[in-house]
Amino acid sequence: MTLDRTIAPPIRQIDHFSISTPERTIMPNGTPLNIIQVGSEDVVRLDLLIKGGQWNQTQPLLAMFTNRMLREGTRSLSSSQIAEKLDYYGAWLDLSSSVNYGFVTLYSLGKYFPKTIEILASMIKEPIFPEKELSVVVDVNKQQFLVNAQRVDVMARKRLNRALFGLSHPLGRYAELEDYDRINSEVLKSFYHQYYHSGNCSVYVSGKVSPEVIHCIEQHFGESDWGDTTRKIKNETFVPTTEDCKRIFVEKEDALQSSIKIGTFSINQQHPDYLKLRVLVTLFGGYFGSRLMSNIREDKGYTYGIGAGLVNYPNTGVLGISTEAANEYVEPLIAEVYKEMDILCSEKVSDEELDMVRNYMLGDMCRSYESAFSLSDAWMFIETSGLKNDFFDHTLKAIREVTSDELQALAQKYFCKENLIAVVAGKKV
């Protein structure tokens, strides 16, 4: 049989999609353990999720530096010993924090896992936050702050969040240069003792998970309490104080181009409209074939790339549009963004375009959840977002079943130009 390469293969929609559910257990000390047994390579990933992030800080930078300093020395290991041992065993460590969580991730060969988890346990359970190493880490981050502070995209992002949430809200308040000088070992130890303990974390392990790996995890993190388990997490409520102005300019005289950030409050992931609204936002500006890319990049040539998305925060969400362009294109570009919103409100999406977006989103789901580590990311997302286990099933159903009529109704409901705040950071023309 001869294959005619001039004829594109038929496109078939996915008719079944399933994501492996973790094996969930509770360790003797009460810490949840989630096991994702996928893959044949002798590699294991261990994630510790600690409830406590930017939302819980009493001063800027506490969550980030507390998490970052875990690798800088413990009661039994110096920072250089930690680095050398992890390097010797071919392990890799990632430390990060978010709005309401701290994350510690270890990648290790299975055969060396008993050794690498010993190092990790020392970091988690007995960090000392040494002043010498802290001063180096703070200086490095301070220099990075000064570099980032000159970037127009950073300027615009911070200013938009401040306009939406207000300075008294954790999401509208950003660190200033002097905040780095307020970081010391004592404030980090205080944050650590408040949030880093066995009663305030959960564990995920993925990859080729052997009985020995599970035994090691239980031995180091699950047999008995560690940390000060009497501490309770502080769940504070913050109310946004949104600015009235709808256009904000942040000047940078030497900017070669401007950064444009446009946003407004939207719905969060628990809202019944959310999953179908995601389809609309993807069609609008969430992939390379979107309305914004086709018009503003391909047709007008105002920018190399523009995107729109739904950003999720505790108790709320934000519809955001982001791009960069030459200073003289800023105004016509913003006008085209609003024009595309108007079109989606007044005209139905064609079946052909809707099918294209469906296929993109379904394919993206398949790509995103095909490996053990990406599955681990998916289920950690469920936990940190406070979602139910059937979220992915409902996502698939929403993508497959949403109609053009529903998309138009959603656009009319949520694409309200009057609520948008547009921030431009750059040089005045």
Per-residue pLDDT of 72-90, as tens digits, reads 999 999 999 999 999 999 9
pTM: 0.91
The per-residue pLDDT for 231 is: 84
The per-residue pLDDT for 14 is: 64
The per-residue pLDDT for 8 is: 67
Q: How far apart are CA 192 and CA 42, in angstroms?
A: 33
What tens digit of pLDDT does each residue of 338-353 get?
A: 999 999 999 999 999 9
The per-residue pLDDT for 111 is: 96
pLDDT band, very low/low/confident/very high, at 16 (cuts 50, 70, 90): low
Q: Is the pLDDT of residue 398 over 60?
A: yes
The per-residue pLDDT for 12 is: 64
Q: Are 418 and 242 in contact (CB under 8 A)?
A: no
The per-residue pLDDT for 146 is: 97
The per-residue pLDDT for 9 is: 67
What tens digit of pLDDT does each residue of 286-318 get?
A: 999 999 999 999 999 999 999 999 999 988 999
Q: Is the pLDDT of residue 429 over 90?
A: no
The per-residue pLDDT for 366 is: 84
- Residues of the chain above pLDDT 70, percent: 97
Q: How far apart are CA 69 and CA 196, in angstroms?
A: 13
What tens digit of pLDDT does each residue of 18-68 get?
A: 788 899 999 999 999 999 998 889 999 999 999 999 999 999 999 999 999
The per-residue pLDDT for 251 is: 95
Q: How far apart are CA 105 and CA 96, in angstroms?
A: 9
CA distances from residue 397 to 125, 283, 350, 376, 393 in whole angstroms, order as listed? 43, 17, 20, 22, 6
Q: Is the pLDDT of residue 374 over 70?
A: yes
Q: Is the pLDDT of residue 331 over 80?
A: yes
The per-residue pLDDT for 400 is: 94
Structure tokens at 375: 């599955």
Mean pLDDT calculated for residue range 213-229: 96
The per-residue pLDDT for 371 is: 84
Tell me which residue of 333, 332, 325 sits closest to 427, measured CA to CA: 325
Q: Is the pLDDT of residue 283 over 90?
A: yes
What tens digit of pLDDT does each residue of 236-258 get?
A: 889 999 999 999 999 999 998 99
The per-residue pLDDT for 11 is: 63
- The mean predicted confidence, pLDDT, of the chain is 94
Task: Tell me phi and psi for residue 3, to 5 degrees.
Answer: -90, 120
Q: How many residues does the chain have?
A: 429
What tens digit of pLDDT does each residue of 151-206 get?
A: 999 999 999 999 999 999 999 999 999 999 999 999 999 999 999 999 999 999 99
The per-residue pLDDT for 330 is: 95
Q: Is the pLDDT of residue 1 over 60?
A: no
The per-residue pLDDT for 404 is: 98
What tens digit of pLDDT does each residue of 112-151 get?
A: 999 999 999 999 999 999 999 999 999 999 999 999 999 9
